[in-house]
Amino acid sequence: MSEREETMVVAFQGEPGAYSEQAVHEHCGPETRTRPCRTFTEIFESIHNGQATHGMLPVENSLAGMIAPAYDLLIDHDLRVQAEVIVKVEHYLMAPAGTQLKDVKRALSHPQALAQCEQSLRRLRIQPVEHYDTAGAARDLAANPQPGTAAIASRLAAETYNLEVLAQHIEDQPFNYTRFFLLGKTDPPRQDPSKTSIIFTTRHIPGALHAILGELADRGINLTKIESRPRRNRPWHYRFFVDFEGHESDENVQVAMLGILKHSSFLQVLGSYPMARPIDN
């Protein structure tokens, strides 16, 4: 175990074996200590009260889009993005030892996972049964086996709860990825290529958003993502979440940020961090 793995404790939402814990293992190392949390809010609280040094927060899915509650919490808490982590979501059908695939009539999992496996379940003539969590379904099935019942979760969940994999890669869409932010209290060492994430609000005047985005375009900065979320204290006004290539210490980024600050009514920098490796399609 490396010194980093020994000192890190990474909070994640879900039960042990969740895809978020898989993200921790893939990015930080398989021996990294983790702390399961019931909610996204608990991830942030665990870091602030010292129960965890970092948090692994899902922020976007390639099929379902933005995970809005995660971005709302990023506004409320002063944590820095230390890395982005992209995990391929691969669903596995699993059951207690001795179960045969032909005998499975029901599959427990989170509604989103069931929806992502709808065609496969129909082909296998398996009835979907909703559960609050993918890894939680695997855990509960292992603790209380039921004839003809399986769970859909990650391979890590199957390993965690000693369940046998009956079918693998049963997701209907092969290009299903979830993007995570690794959060911490400090900025990470610079590692290029870098990406920067910011939140801003505009003044309620014509051309306000155009002017802000022009600050990036005029300096050759590539915009990689833009999303909007309603402001909770001002109906029909919006916060914008933007990712772009480059580091906040770069001269052109610093000039652009000054321009954005001039045109915006609020600006928050979530951090500059190493860019995840491109997805190989």
The answer to whether 166 touches 232, Cβ cutoff 8 Å, is no
Verify that 199 and 131 share a domain, yes or no: no
Same domain, 143 and 200: no
The answer as to whether 119 is a domain residue is: yes
**Residue 280: inside a domain:** no
Regarding whether 162 and 108 lie in a shared domain, the answer is yes
79 lies in the same domain as 18: yes
Structural domain contains residue 173? no
Q: Tell me if 189 is assigned to some domain.
A: no
DSSP the chain: --HHHHH-EEEEESSTT-HHHHHHHHHH-TT-EEEEESSHHHHHHHHHTTS-SEEEEEEEETTTEE-HHHHHHHHHS--EEEEEEEEE---EEEESTT--GGG--EEEE-HHHHHHTHHHHHHHT-EEEE-S-HHHHHHHHHHS--TTEEEEE-HHHHHHTTPEEEEE---S-S--EEEEEEEESSPPPP-SSEEEEEEEEE-SSTTHHHHHHHHHHTTTPPEEEEEEEE-TTSTT-EEEEEEEES-TTSHHHHHHHHHHHHHEEEEEEEEEEEPPPPP--
Contact 243, 197 (CB under 8 A): yes
235 falls in which pLDDT band (50, 70, 90)? confident
> Averaged over 17-36, what is the pLDDT?
96
Q: In whole angstroms, how far apart are CA 244 and each of 56, 123, 154, 230?
A: 21, 42, 31, 21
- Indicate the average pLDDT of the chain: 94
Long-range contacts: 235-238, Cβ < 8 Å, 24+?
Answer: 237/201, 237/204, 238/201, 238/202
Whether the pTM exceeds 0.75: the reply is yes
Q: Considering the domain boundaries, does residue 150 fall inside one?
A: yes
For the stretch 99-136, pLDDT in tens is: 999 999 999 999 999 999 999 999 999 999 999 999 99
33 has pLDDT over 90? yes
Residue 137 within a domain: yes
Predicted pLDDT at 204: 83
User: Does any domain span residue 279?
Assistant: no
Q: Is 90 exceeded by the pLDDT of residue 149?
A: yes
Summarize the confidence of residues 254-269 as an average pLDDT. 95
84 and 12 part of one domain: yes
Would you state the pLDDT for residue 4?
Answer: 58
Q: Cα–Cα distance between 108 and 112 in angstroms, integer?
A: 11
- On whether both 140 and 198 belong to a single domain, the answer is no
Q: Same domain, yes or no, for 101 and 56?
A: no
Q: Take residue 131 and report the two structure tokens written for it.
A: 């559960």
- Residue 36 counted as domain residue: yes
Residue 249: pLDDT band (50, 70, 90) is: very high
pLDDT in tens, 157-203: 999 999 999 999 999 998 999 999 999 999 999 999 999 999 999 98
* Final residue of a structural domain among 184, 217, 243: 184
**CATH number of the CATH domain containing 220:** 3.30.70.260
Pair (63, 99) in one structural domain? no
Buried b or exposed e, range 128-145, using 16+ CB within 10 angstroms: bbebebbbbbbbbbbeee
Q: Is 195 exposed, middle or buried (0-12, 13-18, 19+ CB in 10 A)?
A: buried
CATH code of 59's domain: 3.40.190.10
Do 101 and 29 lie in a common domain? no
Could you give the CA distance from residue 113 to residue 64 in angstroms, rounded to a whole number? 11
Domain count along the chain: 3
The pLDDT of residue 256 is: 97
Which residues are catalytic, by number? 178, 180
Q: What percent of the chain has pLDDT over 70?
A: 96
pLDDT for 5 equals: 53
Output the pLDDT for position 187: 95
Q: Given this model, what pLDDT does residue 236 score?
A: 79
Residues 221 and 269 in one domain: yes
Note whether 82 and 99 are same-domain residues: no
Supply φ then ψ for residue 106, to 5 degrees: -135, 150
The amino acid present at 266, given as its one-letter code, is F
Strand 177-184 and strand 54-61: the pairing is: antiparallel
Domain that holds residue 37: 3-88+178-184
User: Residue 231: pLDDT above 90?
Assistant: no
Are 149 and 217 part of one and the same domain? no
